Amino acid sequence: MAKILDQFLNDHLQELKDAGLYNVIDPVEGPNGPTITIGGKQLINLSSNNYLGLATDGDLKKLAKDAIDKYGVGAGAVRTINGTLDIHVKLEEKLAEFKGTEAAIAYQSGFNCNMAAISGVMDKNDAILSDELNHASIIDGCRLSRAKIIRVNHQDMDDLRKKAKEATESGQFNKVMYITDGVFSMDGDVANLPDAVQIAKEFDLITYVDDAHGSGVMGEGKGTVKHFGLEREIDFQIGTLSKAIGVVGGYVAGKQQLIDWLKVRSRPFLFSTAMTPGDVAAVIGAVDKLLESSELVDKLWENGNYLKEGLKKLGFDIGHSETPITPCIIGEEKLTQQFSKRLMEEGVYAKSIVFPTVPQGTGRVRNMPTAAHTKDMIDQALSIYEKVGKELGVIS
């Protein structure tokens, strides 16, 4: 290794460790369900994004196996050569039905969606109004587009209107886009889409909603846009297939004309091999389940509300979440790391989340109950939270 690189890595890794910002990755020994096994120890799992428990669903596993038998383990090429299998077409039709749009395009990950869609439409002659708490993939997609990025105060519609007026009336930009998460993953609050849409209409803004944490959760599972009845008002609906859907991949849903453009101009679609057949088949099966019934979504909300009420009653600061996402806000980074470590030692797996994922001084443990958790599991977790919280002085 080059000496300069060795010095850089040693110095900066130590800085992260000293500040309590170094994240240790724990390999999971088995399926990622309501309980997981790490280091031979079974733990109640409150760190998964597997909202509906579909990552371990028996029906989806069978569909994936059958697709591998029929198509093989890989698509074999990028979509524009011969990597588009008939099940890719079926998947995109199913996603469009799910999101209530004319068409959809599938990508290899949710992160890829934001890299592809933003830079596929916006360029250096444009401006993007971006909520300050948007996901890292949105930020990176904006940077890749080379558009002027204008940060909007979180959920501040007055600030959005002011900056939309300034941007559109300046004459500097060909197009102006407003981008927001549908559900913000660290605090669990929901975007004020009705007011944002009214502002967008007033100033002719392109509207873009990343609903990675809203699809499968809001709107009887169909997402935040559906929750507000705005399917015809939002230009871009972005989603991931790795959270509530339980598999891997991502998609953009919208007008047919938009999807046609992305299929010829979005680089991750053009230059990266297509989703694997097994993944595609499992996703189709998961979407079918959501289209058929809201049972899993209802169970998720029931468990989420139960955990929220329990933690709040114990005296934890759970912020202002409007979704099953339930943060326990600790504050100081090292204490947050210590809190998470003690939870794990006692039998609950809830990872600490610190800067740069959240602002410094707002470290938290993000809890994500799923539809697969039982009340007994949640009660056990609450008992452990009470013990560790009192031990570390987080609650009295």
- How crowded is residue 202: how many other Cβ atoms within 10 Å of its Cβ? 12
pLDDT-above-70 percentage for the chain: 100
Q: End-to-end distance of the chain based on CA atoms, in angstroms?
A: 50
The per-residue pLDDT for 269 is: 95
The CATH number of whichever domain residue 25 belongs to comes to: 3.90.1150.10
Residue 221's Cα: distance from chain center in Å? Answer: 14
Which has the closest alpha carbon to 75: 281, 256, 260?
A: 281
Q: What is the pTM of this model?
A: 0.94
Do residues 71 and 223 make contact, with C-beta atoms less than 8 angstroms apart?
no
- Calpha distance 220→222 (Å, rounded): 6
Residues 169, 79 share a domain: yes
Give 23 or 362, the one with higher predicted confidence.
362
Instruction: Assess if residue 310 is contained within a domain.
Output: yes
Joined tokens for residue 198:
């009214």
3-state SS assignment for residue 185: coil
Q: In this structure, is the dihedral angle defined by the CA atoms of residues 79, 85, 91 and 96, taken in order, positive or negative?
A: positive
Residue 277: is the preceding peptide bond cis (ω within 30°)?
Answer: no
Do residues 218 and 190 make contact, with C-beta atoms less than 8 angstroms apart?
yes
Mean pLDDT computed over 297-309: 98
Mean pLDDT computed over 271-286: 97
The per-residue pLDDT for 94 is: 98
Residue 223 zone, left/alpha/beta (φ > 0; ψ -120 to 50; rest): left
Instruction: Assess if residue 2 is contained within a domain.
Output: no
Instruction: Assess if residue 214 is contained within a domain.
Output: yes
The per-residue pLDDT for 358 is: 85
Residues 142, 109 share a domain: yes
At residue 301, what are phi and psi to the nearest 5 degrees?
A: -65, -35
The CATH number of whichever domain residue 79 belongs to comes to: 3.40.640.10
The per-residue pLDDT for 38 is: 96
pLDDT for residue 328 is more than 90 = yes
Residues 156, 190 share a domain: yes
Residues 71, 20 share a domain: no
Do residues 252 and 116 make contact, with C-beta atoms less than 8 angstroms apart?
yes
Mean pLDDT computed over 259-271: 96
- Calpha distance 127→148 (Å, rounded): 4
Residues 268, 157 share a domain: yes
At residue 155, what are phi and psi to the nearest 5 degrees?
A: 55, 25
* Number of independent structural domains in the chain: 2
Do residues 103 and 255 make contact, with C-beta atoms less than 8 angstroms apart?
yes
Joined tokens for residue 167:
């941007």
Check residue 6 and report its DSSP letter: H
- pLDDT tens figures, 129-162: 999 999 999 999 999 999 999 999 999 999 999 9
Joined tokens for residue 275:
């989703």
Residues 72, 135 share a domain: yes
By DSSP bridging, strand 363-367 and strand 352-353 are antiparallel
Residues 328, 208 share a domain: no
Residues 83, 27 share a domain: no
Which residue segment(s) compose the domain that 119 sits in?
58-292
By DSSP bridging, strand 236-240 and strand 176-181 are unpaired
Joined tokens for residue 79:
């979509």
Longest pairwise C-alpha distance within the chain: 62
Confidence tier at 356 by pLDDT (50, 70, 90): confident
Instruction: Assess if residue 1 is contained within a domain.
Output: no
Which has the closest alpha carbon to 181: 159, 161, 154?
A: 154
Residues 284, 253 share a domain: yes
* Residue 216: C-alpha distances to residues 49, 191, 257, 297 (Å): 11, 16, 26, 7
- pLDDT tens figures, 199-221: 999 999 999 999 999 999 999 99
Confidence tier at 24 by pLDDT (50, 70, 90): confident
* E strand or H helix at 201: helix 193-203
The per-residue pLDDT for 244 is: 97
List active site positions: 185, 213, 243
Instruction: Assess if residue 165 is contained within a domain.
Output: yes
Rg, C-alpha atoms of the chain: 22
pLDDT-above-90 percentage for the chain: 93
Instruction: Assess if residue 3 is contained within a domain.
Output: no
At residue 179, what are phi and psi to the nearest 5 degrees?
A: -120, 135
Instruction: Assess if residue 323 is contained within a domain.
Output: yes
Mean pLDDT computed over 241-246: 96
Residues 251, 185 share a domain: yes
Q: Which residue, 292, 319, 345, sits at the end of a domain?
A: 292
Q: Any idea which residue has 């088949």 for tokens?
A: 281
- pLDDT tens figures, 66-76: 999 999 999 99
Q: Which residue, 292, 324, 358, sits at the end of a domain?
A: 292
At residue 33, what are phi and psi to the nearest 5 degrees?
A: -115, -160
Instruction: Assess if residue 366 is contained within a domain.
Output: yes
The per-residue pLDDT for 102 is: 98
Joined tokens for residue 88:
């890719």
- Calpha distance 388→325 (Å, rounded): 20
pLDDT for residue 50 is more than 90 = yes
pLDDT for residue 16 is more than 80 = yes
Residues 213, 72 share a domain: yes
